[in-house]
Amino acid sequence: MTIRLLIVDDSTFMRVAIRKMVEKDKQISIVGEAKTGQEAVDLAVSLRPDVITMDIEMPGMNGVEATAEIMKRAPAAIIMVSSLTQTGAKATFDALDAGALDYISKSSSFVQLDIVEIEKDLLEKISFWNDHRKKGIKRAQPSAASALVSEPQKLTPAPFAALSTPSHVMDITETYLKDPVFRRTRSSAPPQVIVLGVSTGGPRQMIEMLSVMPKLRCPLIIAQHMGAAFTGGFAEHLARKSIHNVFEGKDRQLLQPGDVVVCPGGQNGWIERTLQGFALRVSPDPKVTVYPSVDLLFESAARHCSAAAGVILTGMGGDGTIGAQAMAAKDMPIIVQTPHSCIVGGMPDSALRSGCVTQMMSLAEIGVTLGRMAGIPIFERKQSTPA
């Protein structure tokens, strides 16, 4: 099946570069090119492409505005072509809020980048999002506060690793477990830390969880699969959209109650216990193929904490399952997002299949549940509010 692609960029050089990359794939047909946001909207409406590569900075209507308009009038799988700058990162997350599904990165001097890697990334994402568009991508929308909370699921006792060994390349439309089995945890101790793993779709879906989660008595550490140029902007994006103190972590930084810490992209983050308390450690690891590694973060929580909780949200593949099994072996709770509510359900589905999960919930229910586990009670929040 041919993938109909629309290329949008105000740079002739970039349009030619993208065209040459995608022309190598015989399944992709370029149906049009636009150099302004308004042209992109007009062509999207008239041509109805399957996938759009969208520049951010263009004269007149920019890429974020064009994305929002296209998603209203002619929805497509939109991949942002983002610059490796702080401004570019902020605009990328705004575009993901507006309905874009993913992004690729370019520098101000595109020819200096590894063109082979950019080409591989672009072709894979065009194919992937076209497939998910046809199967029906889940686009979670913010809900009214009254509709967010429902009672957590009752758990069914299950032996550890009761289900089949997880595959690490999963497609939720094919593998969603209609009758999952849950592990029962005996621990009721409040977590010293909460660790969270998320990948594809995270920048859009994390907001829904944080919007109903109260401030916590413990730190929350996030491993979001993302490049080094974007995790700082991602943290700022979450901070702007929530009440939480969200920031990009640094090596040897002490973790304080209420902190929401994003592990720096392009390298790994894990927890270490020190005389002063828990600290974040940051370092690259050539043995790991995806950064930051959710498995490594979860394994460190199992190793250094007497009580911790793990959360796995939307994402492709199976990162987090091995780490979740390590936490399960210490009787720590593991909560996953309901796979069919994910943009891509592979990561929670993989954990479900391993038998280590204690609860499966919507994003909003996860936020509420974390508040019940480790949130500051309402009466304490009121007392701490200045008169």
Q: What is the DSSP string of 171-226?
A: -HHHH--SS---PPP---PPPSEEEEEE-TTHHHHHHHHHHHPPPBSS-EEEEE--
CB atoms within 10 A of CB 185: 17
Please report where in the chains the tokens 């308390």 appear, as a residue. Answer: 277
Q: What is the DSSP string of 34-102?
A: ESSHHHHHHHHHHH--SEEEEES--SSS-HHHHHHHHHHHS--EEEEEEESSHHHHHHHHHHHHHT--E
- Strand, coil or helix: 8: strand
Torsion 32-37-43-48 (CA) sign: positive
Q: Which residues of 8-24 are buried (b: 16+ CB within 10 A; e: fewer)?
A: bbbbeebbebbeebbee
Residues known to be catalytic: 199, 225, 319
- Give CA–CA dist 50/158, Å, rounded: 43
Q: Distance between CA atoms of 182 and 68, rounded to whole angstroms?
A: 39
Q: Residue 384 to residues 219, 259, 379: CA-CA distances in angstroms?
A: 19, 17, 9
